[in-house]
A and B are shown apart, each in its own frame.
Chain A
Amino acid sequence: DQQVKQNSPSLSVQEGRISILNCDYTNSMFDYFLWYKKYPAEGPTFLISISSIKDKNEDGRFTVFLNKSAKHLSLHIVPSQPGDSAVYFCACTSMNYGGSQGNLIFGKGTKLSVKP
């Protein structure tokens, strides 16, 4: 039973346009959310995060939005660049619980292709 779902396996966007990647979660204990980016033949690298006390966090071209009531977060990339082409993983965790609740739970990833 997937606790973190990324329902779009792939997304294709034109250079300069907005990319929107979506993620849904089911566990109401999750209160910290991250996006990781993965290029081929490399490990995932941390991109941006947000805690449940916020609904938006921005870092340059990357913005993460959190809708707690809908248990939904999204990553916006504006403007999209060809170098953004990668697999994006959503990950969720709990800050305030011990044991396995502190683990990162990943989604399956969305492959973004940005066309020149």
Chain B
Amino acid sequence: DAMVIQNPRYQVTQFGKPVTLSCSQTLNHNVMYWYQQKSSQAPKLLFHYYDKDFNNEADTPDNFQSRRPNTSFCFLDIRSPGLGDAAMYLCATSRGFPSTDTQYFGPGTRLTVL
């Protein structure tokens, strides 16, 4: 009965090689979020979708893009990963926005950049 699923759980890529991380949800929630969490740091919001409306955080690098083809799926594309992009990437969903609506997190994808 997994609600927010992230694939793969571990991803290894090479410096500069594009990579896509995947998130799917069975909750039928309107909002989907992508967070980046570096080691011993706080999760940091990269962007979120409210339905098809994309909302990018001001300090999210252009290297990070996202797609939401339908309600259930959301993708994080890193166009040219650098060593500094190695992190845990967390996907979350909520029924609405703002964030007083409970966010449901997936288990994360740990990205390694060689």
Q: A interface, how many residues as a size bin?
A: 20 to 34
Judge if A25 is at the interface, Cβ distance under 8 Å: no
Could you tell me the distance in whole angstroms from the C-beta of B26 to the nearest C-beta in chain A?
14
Chain A 42-75 near chain B by CB (<8 Å), digits 1 or 0? 1111100101000000000000000000000000
A100 at the interface (CB under 8 A from B): yes
* B42, A43: Cβ atoms closer than 8 Å: no
CB distance from A55 to the nearest CB of B (A): 18
Distance, CA A109 to CA B42, complexed state (A): 7
- Provide 8 A-B residue pairs closer than 8 Å at the C-beta atoms, listed in order of the A residue: A43-B104, A43-B105, A44-B90, A45-B104, A49-B100, A103-B98, A106-B44, A108-B41
Distance in Å from the Cβ of B98 to the closest Cβ of chain A?
A: 3
In the assembled complex, the Cα of A32 lies from the Cα of B40 at a distance in Å of: 24
